[in-house]
Copies of this chain bind each other. A is one copy, B any other.
């Protein structure tokens, strides 16, 4: 028996963004920007090292929403993302989604979606809008 979705419901996952993740994501997205793939180029950039694709890190929200909160049968309607800080390869990222609004008139909910590193620094902030089952 599933409880009705309510404000405050949340789910998290923690993942180290690996070299292999970044390489595979470059293939899927056609994003072979050297800032993600080329050590020498990245060392000369303002980041000083290679960083993961922002959209790769943001993809962690997708599974939390579709499998945890609200969970199975959820339809992803929208996602707003602010990339707040670069994510060097090897960063341990914790993604959290938390229900902040449930509409009374329609089966639509809004979730805050945040990724932080182990120091608690916000890497990505944003909101998702979903249709709940």
Binding site for B on A (CB under 8 A): 13, 15, 21, 24-25, 27-35, 45-46, 53-56, 58-63, 66-67, 72-73, 75-83
Contact = CB atoms under 8 A, between A and B. Distances in A.
A32 B67 contact: yes
Contact of A29 (B34, B59, B83): B59
Given A30-B63, A54-B62, A62-B54, A83 B72 contact: no
Contacts of A15: 30
A21 to B, nearest CB: 5
A90 to B, nearest CB: 15
A35 B83 contact: no
B79 A55 contact: yes
A55 to B, nearest CB: 5
9 contacts: A21-B28, A29-B60, A29-B62, A29-B63, A30-B63, A34-B72, A45-B73, A53-B59, A78-B83
Given A59-B25, A59-B53, A76-B54, A31 B83 contact: no
Given A55-B59, A59-B28, A62-B54, A33 B67 contact: yes
Contacts of A83: 76-79
A93 B32 CA distance: 18
